[in-house]
Structure 1
Amino acid sequence: MLRIAVQSKGRLFDDTMNLLSESDIKVGASKRTLLVSAQNFPLEVLYLRDDDIPQSVATGVADIGIVGENEFVERGAEAEIIRRLGFSKCRLSLAIPKAENYTGLSWFNGKKIATSYPVILKKFLADNNLNAEIHVITGSVEISPGIGLADAIFDIVSSGSTLVSNNLSEVEVVMKSEALLIGYPGMSEEKRQILDEMLFRFEAVRQAEDKKYVRMNAPKDRLEEIIDVLPGLKSPTVIPLADNNWCSVHTVLDEKRFWEIIGKLKELGAQGILVTPIEKMIL
């Protein structure tokens, strides 16, 4: 049985549970139970505070964990980074009151900065030869300048709406963060085999992101031109139709270029274009 530490609430919890669900790992989310077993996979989920996850994995209380890179770096726990997961993206930034005239990093000299990430901030200040006072605070860091507790803040920024509502301006991005899958270095071979199966499922879900399965009827006299337009994984599937002048073409398209390519296909005479989402894709 593999044990994974997961944040007990918040955006990272939602994204993690979605990933497990899309990987067909069924876990009941209970607010009152700290340890829950999956129904169809040798996995048990340990719900923890985000700042407890790195140490829990580093000490072997959990075999693996999903945690924000910001918390992993801040805690400095000796766990293995297994994979970057690409979701729950945010950044750690310095922000100051909008009314201030920001002149560059030197502005922070002699200032008081409120943060929940003193380790990362201390290193940034040292690397840039800045002399500022760090005021450690948990919870609503963004209100600190407004109540006179600090001159600036160093905190997580996602959409930036919280800064705007507190009359703050983001002036320096110190680090970017995303969800990490971390692991206990001393994990047994048996547990690593379970982990490999989970990673295989995660990769199948990731490969399907922003991909569409496209089927169309294509005139045979334009088939080569149509195939040249399609950026398929290898080569599109071509199937004969009852009408010898036509064939059916199946392929996978990236959503980013979807409408551009569909427009070209229509110009080349493709008809009956059918588009369906892809849940999983195994390469």
Structure 2
Amino acid sequence: MLRIAVQAKGRLFEETMELLAESDIKLRPAKRTLLVQSSNFPIEVLFLRDDDIPQSVATGVADLGIVGENEYAEKKEDAEIIKRLGFSKCRLSLAMPKDIEYPGVEWFDGRKIATSYPVILEDFLSARGVKAEIHVITGSVEVAPGIGLADAIFDIVSSGSTLVSNRLKEVEVVMKSEALLIGNKGMTDEKKEILNELLFRMNAVEAAEDKKYVLMNAPKDKVEEIISVLPGMKSPTIMPLAQEGWCSVHTVLDEKRFWEIIGKLKALGAEGILVLPIEKMIL
């Protein structure tokens, strides 16, 4: 049985549970339960505070953890990064009152900075020879300059709307963060086998992200031109149709270029274009 620690609430919790569901790991919903076992996969989920996850994995309380890179970097626990998951993206940035001109990072020298991430901030400032007074705050860091508690803040930024509402501006991006799958370095071979199966499922989900399966009817004399505009994974599948001079073309398209490519296909005579979502894709 593999134990994975995940955040108990918030956006990272929601996206983690969605990933597990898409990986066909069924969990019984249970309110106020710290440990939930899957009904169809040898894994159990331990719900913790996000800042407790790195230590729980490093000490073996959990075998795996899904945690923000910001928390992993802040705690500096002896756990290894197994996979970058690509969701819950944000950045850790320095911000200051928007009405003050920013000359560069030296502005922070001798200033008071409020943050929930003192380790990352201290490393960043020390590397640049800046000595600031760091005030550790949990909670609403962004209000600190407005109430006179600090001159600036160092905090998570997603859209930046919270900074704007507190009359702050982002001036230095210190690190970018995303969800990580981290692991205990002392896992048994049996647990590593379960982990490999879990990674196989997660990779299949990731490979299908933003992909569409496209089927179309095409005139045979235009097939070579149609293939030339298809950026599929490999060569598309071509099958003859009952109607003389026509064939069926099957391929996979990236959603980002979908409409651009569909327009080109129609111009080349493709008809009856059918677009289907892809749930999993095994590479």
Pairwise same-fold verdict (TM > 0.5) = yes
**What are the within-5 Å matches in structure 2 for residues 105-144 of structure 1?**
105-144=105-144
Separation in structure 2 between the aligned mates of residue 26 and residue 162 of structure 1, nearest angstrom: 36
Partner of 2:244: 244
CA distance in structure 2 between the aligned counterparts of 1:23 and 1:71, rounded to whole angstroms: 25
Q: 2: CA distance between counterparts of 1:52 and 1:169? A: 30
- CA drift at 1:136: 0.4
1:146-167 superposed Cα distances (whole Å, 9 cap, x missing partner): 1110000000001111111111
The equivalent residue for 2:16 is: 16
**What is residue 30 of structure 2 aligned with on the other side?**
30
For residues 209-236 of structure 1, give each alpha carbon's deviation from its aligned partner in whole angstroms, at most 9, with x where no partner exists: 0100000000011111111111111111
Structure 2 counterpart of 1:234: 234
Number of the residue aligned with 1:270? 270
Deviation at 1:109, TM superposition (A): 1.2
Residue 189 of structure 2 corresponds to residue 189 of structure 1? yes
Distance 2:31 2:73 in 1: 27
- SS of the equivalent of 2:203 reads helix
Equivalences for 1:154-173 in 2 at 5 Å?
Answer: 154-173=154-173
AA aligned to 1:182 is: I
- CA separation in 1, counterparts of 2:43 and 2:96? 44
Counterparts of 1:6 and 1:199 in 2: how far apart (Å)? 16
Q: Structure 1: which amino acid aligns with 2:55?
A: Q
CA distance in 2 between partners of 1:62 and 1:180 (Å): 15
Q: Does 1:60 align with 2:64?
A: no
Aligned to 1:72: 72
TM-score if structure 1 supplies the norm length? Answer: 0.99
Q: Give the drift of 1:18.
A: 0.4
C-alpha displacement at 1:103, in angstroms?
A: 1.1
Which string of whole-angstrom CA distances, capped at 9 and with x for unpartnered residues, describes residues 42-72 of structure 1? 1100000000000000000000000000000
Cα distance in 1, alignment partners of residues 50 and 79 from structure 2: 15
Map Cα deviations across residues 245-281 of structure 1 (whole Å, 9 max, x no partner).
1111000001111111111101100011111111100
- In structure 2, how many angstroms separate the alpha carbons of the residues matched to 1:160 and 1:28? 36
Displacement after TM superposition at 1:27 (Å)? 1.4
Structure 1: tracts of 5 or more residues without a match = none
The RMSD of aligned alpha carbons is: 0.7
TM-score scaled by length of structure 2: 0.99
**Letter of the aligned partner of 1:14 in structure 2?**
E
Are positions 1:219 and 2:219 aligned together?
yes
Which residue type is aligned with residue 237 of structure 2? Answer: T
Distance 1:93 1:29, change over 3 A: farther
The change in CA–CA distance for 1:29 and 1:133 in structure 2 (over 3 A counts) is farther
Structure 2 stretches lacking a partner, 5+ long = none
